[in-house]
Amino acid sequence: MCGIFASNDPYITKDKLKIINKHLSFRGPDFNSGLVKFKNWQLYHSRLAIIAPSKKYHQPYICKDGSIILYNGEIFNFKKLAKKFKYKSISDTDLLSKIIVEKKFDPNMLDGFFSIVRISKNGNLMNCLRDPFGVKPLFYLKRKNFITISSEPSVLKKIFNLKLSKKSLREYKIFRYPILSGSYYEDIKCINPGTCLVNKRYFDTINFIRKSKITKSNLHFLIKNVLKDRRLSDVPVGLLMSSGVDSNLIRKLSKKFKKYYCGGLKNDEDIKYCKQIKNQEKLPLEIIDINSNQFIKKFKELIKLRCEPLSVPNEVVLSLIANKAKKDGVKVLISGEGADEFFAGYDRIYRWAKNTRQFSIKKFCELYCYNKIDSQNLKKIKSFFKEISDLSNINKVRFFFIKYHLQVLLRRLDFSLMSSGVEGREPLVSKKIFFESLKFKTNDLIDNNHGKKPLRKILNRYMDKDFVYRKKIGFPIDMNKSFNLKKRNIKNENYTIWFEKNLQELKKI
């Protein structure tokens, strides 16, 4: 994991380095390149060294054709690609630098998560892309004929003195993130998942959903192999634990991790569950009990660093957990994101989609939105569903969650862990798992009691039925308790307090 910055804008001079360091160096505490002049570009890279942690592979990294790359992420099949192309390489960065200059290079050959920027030896932008599901962030701003690219929008906001978009803040209150705008700032754009800014889209989930066929699945075997691949690392790896199906599935299907981590406020459901598991199974499980003072302090720090509101309170908890992991020498934490999106895990919405004959966009918004949707955003949602009117109800919802909702989860995990200098990995967010999820019939994904049935069936081989099929727990963090407030008994009190507190802190930036 790393932080990358590239700009051919003459406005970017050495005096901007202080801003870049302040809002980007946290993503890579192991090495900081400073601003590097290359042709008409200013380049910057902060490295969190996970694979081949040698200074030999610090970036910006020169390719064999004289071009230069900035890369953030992990390529888990780099050894297989090295063998295929007959290269000797112990680093995914070095391997990428070799294959990316090949005329037959296709980002689809990469198994992993990444954001990549490549500048030619003549100073032309050759590649500027993100992984298929958008695990790694990449933002940009165009000014006149120039472009500035960054892993964090806060850098662009501070350098160009940008103001928050009122339109995006409306989206935040409705969706907990500007899912339709892609950024909290008018001039900042987000590169879409599976897309290269220069060479356009290379991976489109909707095409695979449309072409999917119901067939026999070997999900159990596949998840085991993906988990094995996702543990590739030259530094210690840990697992983020909760009381949910996904992290426990990873725990049971993967060999033991160096350490396990769980955190929350006293008596939270996850805390109570993990204390029980720790005693029963003698796991090297670190349980981080967080008090309200710690929560408030970290909450304010994160908003100041990010220059954006946080989507959910769990981001604060995750950052505090990552602090502890870093002190323990654990630089990678595995998490279970992606399961709900691929396997119909949001029971209430997916079940409605399964059982309804007529797909009502109004009803979908009532189920999905956290506040009443306005006419402008409703129009955008209608336009989205109109373009996929040929899909089944369940696949309409699934595509929405993959295209929009998954981005919120990936962004919050990436930022909250990276804010403490720890890499987050989501093994279930892989092309192989996505393709496998499309093989199941609707009734095999969700019934009138439970979603994620394929994953629950696998987990039931390792854990008792009462746990595997228990009721889903939502929004577990009490905001009154977190912020030392008295209960007001208002509608959606938890969400209302959360939005209010975020907006209050944003005004201070």
Does 143 have pLDDT greater than 80? yes
Which pLDDT band holds residue 491 (cuts at 50, 70, 90)? Answer: confident
Residue 394 is assigned to a structural domain of this protein: no
Q: Are residues 158 and 225 in the same domain?
A: no
Q: Is the pLDDT of residue 490 over 80?
A: no
State the Cα–Cα distance between residues 203 and 206, nearest whole angstrom. Answer: 9
**pLDDT the model gives residue 474:** 56
pLDDT classification of 473: cutoffs 50, 70, 90: low
Taking each helix axis from N to C end, the angle separating 166-175 and 375-386, rounded to the nearest 10 degrees, works out to: 70
- Are 238 and 310 in a shared domain? yes
Rounded distance, CA 482 to CA 352, Å? 33
Note whether residue 488 is domain-resident.
yes
Output the CA angle 141-145-148, nearest 5 degrees. 30
Mean pLDDT of all residues belonging to the chain: 95
- Residue 452, pLDDT > 60, answer yes
Q: Specify if 397 maps to a domain.
A: no
pLDDT at 82 over 70: yes
Same structural domain, 175 and 29: yes
pLDDT of residue 484: 86
Q: Give the pLDDT band (50/70/90) at residue 141.
A: very high
Number of compact structural domains in the chain: 2
The one-letter amino acid code at 455 reads L
> Stretch 157-166: mean pLDDT, rounded?
96
- Do 57 and 175 fall into the same domain? yes
Note down the domain range covering 335: 219-340+402-506
> What is the band of 480 on the pLDDT scale with cuts at 50, 70, 90?
confident
Query: Is residue 219 packed enough to be buried (19+ CB in 10 Å), middle (13-18) or exposed (0-12)?
Result: middle
Residues 83, 112, single domain; the answer is yes
The percentage of the chain sitting over the pLDDT mark of 90, rounded to a whole number, equals 90
CA pair distance 74, 57, nearest whole angstrom: 13
Same domain, 127 and 242: no
- Does 166 reside within a domain? yes
- pLDDT tens per residue across span 253-265: 998 899 999 999 8
What is the mean pLDDT of the segment spanning 451-458?
97
- On whether both 195 and 238 belong to a single domain, the answer is no
230 with 198, same domain: the answer is: no
Number of H helices, E strands in the chain: 23, 18
**Segment 95-116, tens digit of pLDDT:** 999 999 988 899 999 999 999 9
Spatial contact of 85 and 38, defined as CB atoms under 8 Å apart: no
Q: What is the pLDDT of residues 63-72, one digit of tens each?
A: 999 999 999 9
pLDDT classification of 471: cutoffs 50, 70, 90: confident
- Global pTM value: 0.95
Residue 382 within a domain: no
Q: Is 66 left (phi over 0), alpha (psi -120 to 50) or beta?
A: left
CATH number for position 279: 3.40.50.620
Tell me, what's the pLDDT at 324? 97
Q: Span 220-229, mean pLDDT?
A: 96
CATH number for the domain harbouring residue 127:
3.60.20.10
Could you read off the pLDDT of 183-201 as tens digits, one per residue? 999 999 999 999 999 999 9
R_g of the chain, CA atoms, integer Å: 22
